[in-house]
Every structure is written in structure tokens, then in C-alpha cells.
A and B are shown apart, each in its own frame.
Chain A
């Protein structure tokens, strides 16, 4: 399978080739000497050039359909594509949205398409115009703040995530194809969250190799997307493909990196968790703490995600930019971080079911 992935990767190989040839740049063009700084020009002839893109994502007004808009559209482009437009009729917005789906493959089903058209017309068309959220007044609301209430549609249909079935290998192979076509652009071909689009996204696409994801988590996430993050919902894909993709995602994670935690350390971790984490992540780790309702993306549910030990340490050190998860490294010692990580990992429920 790795080979197969590598083949698919080959289109990006140009960027990845690490054949650092000595003196490969050669002499600069004669015309480059015309620049103010010839030495700088000569240097740039061989130096690797990087581009870090700034973001100017606008806050979008709250109105019905905002969730659908953000999930289906913002993976590929900024909401500025909308805010720069003059007022259009509902028919014009419908044409535009349908073009996005049919020509560019925007992930939205018919229900979502209708909601998105309603939203775009309501905020920018000739219909009623609600007050635009003026982002200059509230700095900490987050560029992707999402105040809409959960909708009745937020329940996943049951699709199977293959585990011990006979045709597991063929399902995972199908999942790899679905993943490459729909997910790799953001999550990367190897699932590490470093796809071509990842650089412009905030929060960054999840590194799928750094945690165990339960069936329930993958079902919910693929069906509903992630509020306040660029992860769209994938309802338009066949349920079989969603199940296959979920099985493939689970295959990224090796189960060898679990670590044993001594009871004393677990107790210490629990105490730390209850002091600092509970308000958002909830007393049972289900992500439903008292402060969670206002946060987008929502706090992680550790009953359905089991991040690797090292990944938790990294998050404690760096926080998760683009989410409410802060940097903890100045508040917590290394040994306490380890204890906390061990406790967080113990909250995962599938483990409990398997090892009661």
C-alpha cells in the first residue's frame, strides 16, 4: 500500500526531491546583475525559497447556513471570495454555488447547497442584510468563530468502519483511493496533516498519524465536519466510501507507541486535569466542559480520540493555533506534563471496553 501511495505522490515529487546537488545553481543570468544587490541575486539563484502566507480571513455574519458555507467552501478558498462580491440575485448565487460543486468538486450535497445559497443571498444578495459582524471590535473571537446553534442534522448515520472483516485489506485499499481524492490535499498523502493546502489553513489539518481515532469519532467527523475548522462534511460521498476512508485513516496509526503509566503518576495527572483541563474538556474527557459550548472548534473528546503521548506533550508545549487550546509549557513542569498526558490517554473509552 505504501508503494501505491508513493506512486500517487509522484506528482508532488518535484518539490520533494532532496537531491541537493553541490553547486547546482551555476552562474546567474547576466540580467540579474542589473539588480541593486548582485551578491543577493547570486545567492537567491541557489537558495531554497520559502513562502509563508499571511491570512486575512474575514469574520462572516451569523445567519442560517453559515455552518454549511464554512465547511463546504473554506477548505479551498477564503471567505473573501464572497465578501469582495457586489450584491447578486439569488439566481446568480445559485449559479455560482452550483458551479463550485459541479466544476470544482466542492463537498456539498443538495441539502447543503440549498443552505449555502440561502446564506450567501441573505448576507450579500438583494434580500435582507443582517448586520455584518465588525471584527475590528473583538479581537479574541477568532476568525472562524461560529455562533450558530447545533442543528438537528448533526447526527451521523451508521456506516461501518471495517476492523476484523475478511475483506479488510480491500476496504482499506478503497479507503486509500477515497483518501487521496478527497483528504490528501489537506491531510497530506501520508496523513501527517501537511497536504498542499495545509499551509494556508488554521487550525492546521489534523495529523492523523498522531492519535487513535474511534469509529464513532470518524463517523461523526466525516458526516458533520468540524465546526470552526476547515474540515467540511463529506455527506455527498457514498457511505461505503466513508467507511473505507475511516478504516484507512485508522490504519495510519500504529498501536506500538502506547506507554504504561504507573498509578501514582495517573493520580497526579488526574489532579492536574481536574485543575486546568476540566472546564473545557469535561470531567470525563468528553469535551463537554462548562466552557466548551462557546468554543469552535470544540475541545477534543478524549473518549473518542487518544492522542499519542508525544503529541500531547507537543500540544502542551505549543498549544493548537487557531483553536482555544493554549500554550501550557510555562505553567506545567515536564514531569507533570508526562503525568497529564498519561491521564488523558487513559480516558479513551475503546481501551476500557477492550480491557475492562
Chain B
């Protein structure tokens, strides 16, 4: 509960800081610089910056870039490409792509290895689209208590888009998967400065790779992907955390045995416990690779710090999504969980899309109130009241927000 209050005051501080930055003026500074509210390094310090092809996003780190989408963009069902969050692992991200020279390599345990141009992908395969949420495994990590190291995201390491491209199944069928295939691995064009750093590679089981839903996308919301979101190609794994959505995808390899690599065997792992929960004092002995997204629901309005007027009707609004079972209902409490009301659900855009919920609310009295929201999906999943794990993954705790009525 205290962390939520912190979050709120942090957001308020952010406004103050940004105003100061704005007043200082860009002309006065040769290079954009970190501004701090005070001497404490861990104090709230949020800066909005515009990277190439992107609008102003919250700067987490610049190198390699981690940029968070500000909350107000989630008032739209489709997150604009230029506002879509950014997260890379390795310093050497692709900075120059010639789409006429680019080739997607498909090889390994196949009959006919292929080297496909962008033109081949566009003209030789049936285009396929899916609307899907892309969410970082560590989205909302800064809400974990005790805090854990990693990208200190609030709720903006996610976005919803219509992804268009070629079914991975079609690509694999064209190359002819040999009998005995087990895994399919995926690598992009990003590189680390030193060879000792493991290359970023992820893998899916062969059946998952051929399920007809995994996509090699060349378009996002009807346009080419921004460079920072994986131009020219990105793997789309609907319902799974974004760590699998390999950016600047350049190599697909079919394997006759289980894939082993750092980013599957050592990183992006969760406790093998219900809801990936563990005790900070007694870490779970066994871990498994992260996979499907947990059910969660979030507030979009009111935003932290947004003040409502007594007697003026207000529409409380938010989003809910899961790994593809579909949202069955969303309940909102306007009295800190004492009672719950059913929210209205917007029409479903697709089973992997998020779904907007709304609750008309008349602020009857001034003062502060605590709202909560919880979602239920069609497979009977529920959100949790407490979740902690060492990596700060899969946050899906029932959200709370403090609402101030004037």
C-alpha cells in the first residue's frame, strides 16, 4: 500500500521536475542532461526524451535504450508506433538497415534452408495480422517490494498493436522441417561489444512455433516497425512475454534437440511455483523459463495525481488482458476493496489484445479514496494480492490507485 502512495508522489514529483526542465530551455544545454530533484540517486527522476522515430517517452536508460510509454497513451486501444515502449539488451543495436539487402535466414534441421528478402516475405506468403499485447517480462518492476534490480519500469513497458507479417508456420513449412525437430531458435541483429556477452537468442518448442499464431511481422499498426521496435522484422508470440518477441529478427534455426543458451537457461527465468511467487528469504529452488503472460488489469484514468471534481460524473477506465483465454469480467472497488462493482467491457478486439473496461462514477464527496481493480478470465484465472520474485517478473497484483476528489 505504501508503495502505491510512493508511486503517486513520484508521479507528482515528475511533473514538477519536467516543468523545471522545460523552463531551463533546451538551448541552454548542449547535451540533454540528467536532472535530479535532490541528492538521492534513487529519488524520482523522470525525464521525457524523444529518440529517432519516437515521440517523447520516459527515459529509463539511453544505452542500450529502455524507454517507457507514458500512461496517457493507453487511452487508445492501439498504442501508436512512435509511443511504443523500447527495450534492448545489448549495446550494439542495429543502427543501419538496408531493406533491399536484408535477408532472413532459415536453417538448421530443415530440408531447404532459405534466405528470404523483404520482398519475398511480402509477395510469396499470405499476409496475416493479429492484434496482440506486447509486454515486457519486467513491466511494473518498480512496484515490487522489496525492490529488485533491473529496469525500473512503472506500468508503461507494454503496448497493444496490430502486427502484420508472415506466419512462422508458413515459413517453416516452406523450408520443410525434418522429422525429430524439437525447438526453434531466434536471433536478431543486435550484438554485444564484447564476445564474452552471450548473443541474444530465444527459443520456442516446435509445436508452438508451428501453431499458426506465431508471426514474423514486417508491419505494426499498418506501418513498418520503428527501428527501435525491431525494424525490419520482429517475432510476434501472442500471449507470451515480450522477451520472446525477438527484434531485428535475422536468423531462425530449427533444432533437433533442446535449445540451450544464456537467455533461456540463465536469464528470464521464474520460480517454478504458483504464479511465480517466492519468498525473498527463501528463494524457490527450481526455476523455469518465463512464458505466458499473467492475467492483469490496470487503471488508465484517473491517472496518479489527477484531481476529480465533486458532483461531476467521471468515467474510471482501464485495461485488462491475459495470455489469450479472454477477459471474462472486470470488477472495480471505489472503497478500497469493501465492495466491488462490475465494470463495462468494450468489445473484444481479439483474444490477444487488451480489452478496455469502464466504470461511470459520480464523486459524491471530496477527499481521498482508494480504488482497486481486478480481472477474471475465461479459464478461471484470478489476480493475486501479493507477488514477489527475485527478478521482478510477471507483476499481476490487484492494482490500487488513490483518487482525489476536490
Contact = CB atoms under 8 A, between A and B. Distances in A.
Nearest to A28: B122
Contacts of A107: 194
Interface in A74-94: 75-78, 80-88, 92
Interface in A134-164: 134-136, 139, 143
B100 A20 contact: yes
Nearest to B227: A51
B127 A182 contact: no
A356 interface: no
B314 interface: no
Given A35-B222, A136-B24, A21 B100 contact: yes
A280 B274 CA distance: 63
Contact of B149 (A27, A46, A80, A92): A92
A29 B401 CA distance: 42
Interface in B159-182: 162, 164
B339 interface: no
B102 A29 contact: no
A20 B62 contact: no
Contact of B223 (A27, A41, A47, A197): A41
Interface residues of B, number: 78
Interface in B62-111: 62-65, 90-103
Interface string A99-138: 0000111010000000000000001100001011011100
Contact of A29 (B198, B219, B231): B219
A51 B34 contact: no
Interface range, A side = 35 or more
Contact of B91 (A50, A129, A136, A197): A197
Contacts of B28: 139
B224 A41 contact: yes
Contact of A14 (B39, B102, B197): B102
Interface stretch (A54-62, A209-217, A287-295): A54-62
Given A105-B194, A129-B40, A49 B117 contact: no
A124 B64 contact: no
B396 interface: no
5 contacts: A54-B32, A55-B63, A77-B63, A77-B91, A78-B63
Interface of B: 24, 28-36, 38-42, 45, 47, 49, 51-53, 59-65, 90-103, 117-119, 122-123, 127, 129, 142, 147, 149, 151-152, 162, 164, 189, 191-198, 218-219, 222-224, 227-228, 231-232, 250, 262, 266-267
Given A15-B189, A54-B62, A87-B42, 7 more contacts: A26-B119, A31-B127, A51-B53, A85-B147, A132-B36, A132-B40, A185-B91
